[in-house]
Amino acid sequence: IVKKEDALNSRKGEFCPVVADDNGSTVYFTSSRDNLTTGLKASKITGIRNNDIFIAKKNNAGKWETPTPLPAEINTEYDEGSCCFSPDGKTMFFTQCRTLPGVTLGAEIYYTQRAGGEWTAPKKVVIINDSSKSIAHPAMSPDNKYLYFVSDMRGGYGGKDIWRSLRKSDSEWGLPENLGSDINTDGDEMFPFFK
């Protein structure tokens, strides 16, 4: 039976939930709900408020507490969302869509690491050197070796395809590899994930 979780939903959009612990008591998700830290800047793509990443936890009674936004180092004035975690839960990858006047920028993936209970300042994941192409919707493989993502870079089968890149270190990634025509179509593939 599928039912709406009122404590996690608002009148705005919520999507891309990620359960962040083994017992299902912590969830991160993307939302366009109000966030006083980052203001009410609207997306030039959707016309609605830019998305941010929120976290919600269950209390001792098993009820969801009010979701809270991640800190301003992660939730900026730009559009953030679609996060995932390394298998040990210490690294979070997320999408950010920056906008700069007169510049064509694609979506970008950033990562942040947990240190002393806090997330560090995010750093960009550099897979290709073409900032006009989108690299978005990260999904880390369970063995922590490959970062799967969506991109409109050259060499795909459609508008947006699912690709992967070998993790060489926190700051170094291998050449992107398209997952091929068994996965990708002439349409758009989006939001890969691992269970």
Report the pLDDT value the prediction gives residue 35, as an integer from 0 to 100.
76
Report the pLDDT value the prediction gives residue 38, as an integer from 0 to 100.
61
Report the pLDDT value the prediction gives residue 47, as an integer from 0 to 100.
76
Q: How many residues does the chain have?
A: 195
Report the pLDDT value the prediction gives residue 163, as an integer from 0 to 100.
98
What are the residues facing 163 on neighbouring strands?
149, 178
Report the pLDDT value the prediction gives residue 18, as an integer from 0 to 100.
95
**pTM flag (> 0.85):** yes
Rounded CA gap, 136 and 38, in Å? 21
Among residues 58, 38, 60, 57, which one has the least CA distance to residue 49?
Answer: 38
User: Within the chain, which residues score under 50 in pLDDT?
Assistant: none
Report the pLDDT value the prediction gives residue 36, as an integer from 0 to 100.
65
Taking a C-beta distance cutoff of 8 angstroms, is the pair 133, 151 a contact?
Answer: yes
